Structures are given as structure tokens and as C-alpha cells.
Chain A
Amino acid sequence: MIKSRSIFGLVAAGCALGLACPQPSRAVVSDEDFNALKTLVQQMNGKLQSLEQTNLQDQRVIQQLQQKLTETQRTAVEAQQNSIATAQAQAAAPRVPLDEATVNHNFQILGDAEIQYNKTDHQNGAFLLADFAPIFLYRGGENILFEAGFDFGLQNNSPNGGGYTTTVNLSFAQLDYVLNDYLTLCAGDLVLPLGTYSERSAGWLNKFPDNPLAVDLVPGTGVGAELRGALPLGETGKLLNYSIYGVNGPGSANGTGNAGALDLGGNVGITSGGSTANTHGNLVGGARVAFFTPFKPHYDLEVGLSGQSGEWDDAGKHLWSAGVLDAALHLGANFEAKGEYIISRYGSDDLGQIHQQGWFLQAGYKLAGLNLNLPALNNLELVARYDSMRDGLGTHTRRYTAGYIYYLTSALLFEGDYEIIRSSDPAQPTSQFILQMSYGF
């Protein structure tokens, strides 16, 4: 009995233990699933390796970018430092001029050019290059100016030769040094202030295509030195103009003291033989004083008196002297009248004292002053001139001139003149017709 109980107990304990112990799990996986799972794991492993490689590459790129960023930052810092250094250097250096007007030196060309058609009685009409006259200006600083004017022209060669010759003349060449507001020192081949015509004779300044006869009685230029200037008289624009000069003066064309040998254009200081000499013993002196008064803009009067005197022949026995009274009047922007009275005296070996004189009076009126609504007429100016000259050697010439100026622009002029000439010299023409295109630049 006891044995049965023991067996029963063991069985019961075994059952209890069997119930208490977890039952072992036992999954059932097929080969197909296992292979699929294996493939999947392999693929995932491949992707993982690929991602690792990509990650490595990205890391390298990031490192490179970081290096570049570092370099860029360094460059930016250097650039900033350079910029600061440059700005500091510029602040310390002299300021670069922004306006060309502040430049100390300047070269400039002015001048004029004229083309004519000229018909003189008993001669064939012809076109001619009347003048090409550039003026070169060189300014050095505030008060130094060198100015030189040239005249270019054309003329046929001799009758037995073909072609033509270009003539070039130095009209003037002078160095101007402005001493102060009232005085300037000039030296060189000077435009002489005997009257005002020689200083205002450029083609587009002169209202006529040719010069007044009487201006041939005085030299236009002379080699020497001059002091000139202007003194304002009050604040209303009135001026006193003055100049005083010394030049070599006139000379003798052939060395003699004969009346016909007077040469107003020579004696420039260097002889044809190359030696440096005045052809006569002493320099010649001259001066001009003038009063200018404006009544209001474009209304003014200028009156001047000038003269020159000195030896002219090589022996120094004879004096040549001249005096000029000049006047100019403006009544509005449309009317101008001016004139000069010129006398000269000089001694000679053969004819004794020679007395020369001449004068001219000219006037111009712009039809714009009529206030007509006719543009063609507004550009037109009527001009007239009377001039006369006695050369002291027996010739008396008078000339009457009437003409017009058509202003294509303020500096481009188309002029036409008809001249009637009365002269005791039979070789002189009796009439002349001139057309001229003139440009001032």
C-alpha cells in the first residue's frame, strides 16, 4: 500500500513538474523561407557596406569643403586686411585730381581757316586757300602760356615749273608770363599793339575777307619783349589797357637808307648769313594805352592811342615813327563800328622825309536786330567799309567795300564782298569780288 502511494506520488510529482516546466518552443521554418531570409540578410549587408562606403566618401567631401571654407575664410580675412591697408595708404597719399581742369598743363589748338573765290577785274576768277592758321597754346601752370600762330598757304610754282608750293609762315610766337592781375611779361615774336587790327585780324574775327589798306603802314609783329596789362576802373567793367615794348624794329631790305628799302617785316635778329644781329644800332620802342567803357553788356566804347619810333636803316641815320588812333563801338549785340587812323613818318637818303597816312572805318549790322521772324535774315549781317591810304611815294588809294556775312554757325561764316578801288597807281584793279568761307576753331 505504501509502495502504491509512493508510485502515485512520483507520478503526481512528475505531472506537476511537467505542468510547471515550460514547454519547449519549436518553430517550423521551411528551406524556402530560410533561403529568402538569408538572401534578404545578404542584400541588407550589401546595402550596409554600400552606405558605409558612401558615408566614407561624404566624410572626405566634407573634409575637403571644410578645408576650402577655411582657405576662403583666410582669403577673406587677408582681403579685408589688404583693403584696410590700401585705404589707409590712399588716405595718406596725395589726392588724385578728379577734374581735368585741375591738371597743371594743357595743350590746345585754336585758329581759323579760310577758302576764297576771288574775281578781280581783268583777271580770271579763281578759288584759293586763303589761309589755314592754327594757333598752338601750351599752358604750364597758372600763369605761363606759350602761344604760336602759323599761316599755311598755297601758290603756283614759277611759270616754267609745274605744281605748287606750300608756304608756311610763323605769324607770331611768344611766351607769356602773368606777373599779377594787372601785368604780363611777353617775349618772342610779338603781335604788336599798334592799333587793334593786327591782334583781331583772324579771318573769322575780321568782318571782311581782306585787310584794310592802311594796316600795311605799320608792322604786325616784332621780335622783342613787352609788358602789357589792364587796370579795372571801378566795378562796372571800365578798363585802362596799356602796353609798352621794345623790339628790333623795321629794317632795310637792301641795307641802304633809300625810301623804297623800308622793310617793316624783317629784322628778326638773325641775318641771312646766320649771324645774330640787329640790322641797325638800337632797339625800337612802342606803347599803347586805351580806355574801354561798357555801358551795359554788348554796349561799349573803346578808344586807344599807340605809337612806335626808332631807327630803321642800317646806318642808323633815319627814324621810322608811327602813330595809330583806334576806336571800336558796340551798340547792342547787332551793331559794331570800328576804325583806325594811322600815320607814319620816316627819313630816307633819296627822298627825304616820307609821310604816310591811311584810315579805315567799317561797320556791320546783324539783321537779327530787326526782330523779324525770318530765320534766314536773322543769320545775316550787312557790312560796309571805307579805307584809304597814301604811301608817301605818290600813290593814293581809296576803296569802298560792301558785303554780307551769313552765319551758318557762330564760328562758320559765309562772306561776300564787292570792292571798288580808286587808285593813282594804274596797276591797281578797279574792282574786286570776293566770296569767302571762314571758320574759327
Chain B
Amino acid sequence: MKKIHPQKNFVALTLAAVLVAGLISPLTFRVRAEEPKTTAPATTNSVTPSAVSPTASTSALHKKLTGAELYSIHCNRCHPERFPTERTAAQWKTIMLHMQVRAGIPGKQSRLILQYLQENSGR
């Protein structure tokens, strides 16, 4: 008879639960998610980045993207969002050059993101 590992089952169940929750959640809360959101930059070191991030329109991407939208699209791919007020305009310029290379962001999109970050930066 095959030996059952309770701990392994627990981890497998956790993995399954996370996957299921992640897949179902966007559907379940779709109505709430499509409520209008602010485009104002969040405060520095916000604890719940996803809840207060400068998310742009959540409608499907059928129009030309703004810097704020590109910021939301690209930054969250790799790390919790960092907020414009965390850095000065000069620092953002250097960081965005780094991110353009590291994250593979086209130059034009990188400049739009930089403009958004600098306009809302910590000066």
C-alpha cells in the first residue's frame, strides 16, 4: 500500500488552494475590480500596494497606453510596486534606464513611464 505523507499533502493542498483562489478571484470580484480607481500616486511605503497603486483604467487595452498604465503593466511583473514619491526625478531617470535594460522595456514606453514617475516624484 502506498505510504501517505500528510505534510506533503498539506503543501500540495496549499499550492492547489493558491492556484484556485488566484484563478477564481478575478472572476468573483470582477465587478468590484472594474470600479473607477484613482490615478493619483500612492504614498510612500504603502502597506498594501495592490490596493492603492496608481492603477490606470482597468478596461481592456484597446487604446494608446499612458505612462501610468505602462507603469502598472510593467513594474508589477517582477516586484511589488514602488511609488513615484520614493525617489527624486533624477533618481528615477537612472532607475528607469536600469529597468529598461533589465526588464526589456522599449525605449518609448520607458520614457512614458519615466515621465509619469518624474511628474509625481519626491522632487
Chain A positions near chain B (C-beta within 8 angstroms): 99-101, 103, 106-108, 110, 137-139, 143, 145, 147, 176, 178, 180-182, 184, 186, 191, 199-200, 204-205, 228-232, 235-237, 239, 241, 243, 290, 292, 294-300, 302, 328, 330-337, 361, 363-366, 368-371, 375, 378-379, 382-386, 400-402, 407-412, 418, 420, 422, 431, 440
Instruction: List the A side residues contacting B57 at CB < 8 Å.
Output: 296-297
Question: B11, A420: Cβ atoms under 8 Å?
Answer: yes
Residue from B8, B83, B88, B107 whose CB has the most chain A CB atoms within 10 Å: B107
**B100 an interface residue at 8 Å Cβ cutoff?**
yes
Instruction: List the A side residues contacting B83 at CB < 8 Å.
Output: 410
Question: B47, A407: Cβ atoms under 8 Å?
Answer: yes
Question: A302, B77: Cβ atoms under 8 Å?
Answer: yes
Residue on A with the closest CB to B50? A333
Question: A296, B58: Cβ atoms under 8 Å?
Answer: yes
CB contact between B21 and one of A236, A365, A379 (< 8 Å): that residue: A365
Minimum CB–CB distance from A230 to chain B (whole Å) comes to 4
Question: A101, B88: Cβ atoms under 8 Å?
Answer: yes
In the complex, A400 Cα to B15 Cα: how many Å? Answer: 9
Question: B18, A363: Cβ atoms under 8 Å?
Answer: yes
Residue on A with the closest CB to B25? A369
Question: A332, B25: Cβ atoms under 8 Å?
Answer: yes
In the complex, A103 Cα to B65 Cα: how many Å? Answer: 28
Given contacts A365-B18, A402-B11, contact A411 B73 (CB under 8 A): no
Would you list which residues of chain B between 65 and 116 have a CB under 8 Å from chain A?
Answer: 65, 69-70, 72-73, 76-83, 88-95, 97-98, 100-102, 104-109
CB-CB nearest 3 A-B residue pairs: A181-B107, A335-B22, A333-B50
Residue on A with the closest CB to B5? A420
**B40 an interface residue at 8 Å Cβ cutoff?**
no
In the complex, A361 Cα to B14 Cα: how many Å? Answer: 13
Instruction: List the B side residues contacting A230 at CB < 8 Å.
Output: 104-106
**B4 an interface residue at 8 Å Cβ cutoff?**
no
CB contact between A300 and one of B26, B32, B73 (< 8 Å): that residue: B73
Besides A239-B105, A386-B11, A420-B5, 9 more A-B contacts (Cβ < 8 Å) are A106-B90, A108-B95, A232-B109, A294-B61, A333-B53, A335-B22, A368-B50, A410-B82, A431-B7
Instruction: List the B side residues contacting A200 at CB < 8 Å.
Output: 78-79
**B1 an interface residue at 8 Å Cβ cutoff?**
no
Chain B positions near chain A (C-beta within 8 angstroms): 5, 7-8, 10-12, 14-15, 17-19, 21-23, 25-26, 29, 32-33, 45-51, 53, 55-65, 69-70, 72-73, 76-83, 88-95, 97-98, 100-102, 104-109, 118
Instruction: List the A side residues contacting B18 at CB < 8 Å.
Output: 363-365, 382-384
CB contact between A378 and one of B21, B51, B56, B93 (< 8 Å): that residue: B51
Instruction: List the B side residues contacting A290 at CB < 8 Å.
Output: 104
Question: B11, A100: Cβ atoms under 8 Å?
Answer: no
In the complex, A365 Cα to B22 Cα: how many Å? Answer: 6
In the complex, A366 Cα to B97 Cα: how many Å? Answer: 30
Instruction: List the B side residues contacting A334 at CB < 8 Å.
Output: 22, 25, 50
Given contacts A182-B106, A384-B15, contact A100 B22 (CB under 8 A): no
Minimum CB–CB distance from B14 to chain A (whole Å) comes to 4
CB contact between A101 and one of B32, B50, B118 (< 8 Å): that residue: B118
27 examples of A-B residue contacts, CB within 8 angstroms: A101-B92, A108-B95, A145-B101, A176-B101, A180-B107, A230-B105, A232-B109, A292-B104, A294-B61, A294-B73, A295-B61, A332-B33, A332-B50, A333-B76, A363-B19, A365-B22, A371-B29, A384-B14, A384-B18, A385-B15, A402-B11, A409-B46, A410-B45, A410-B80, A411-B45, A411-B82, A431-B7
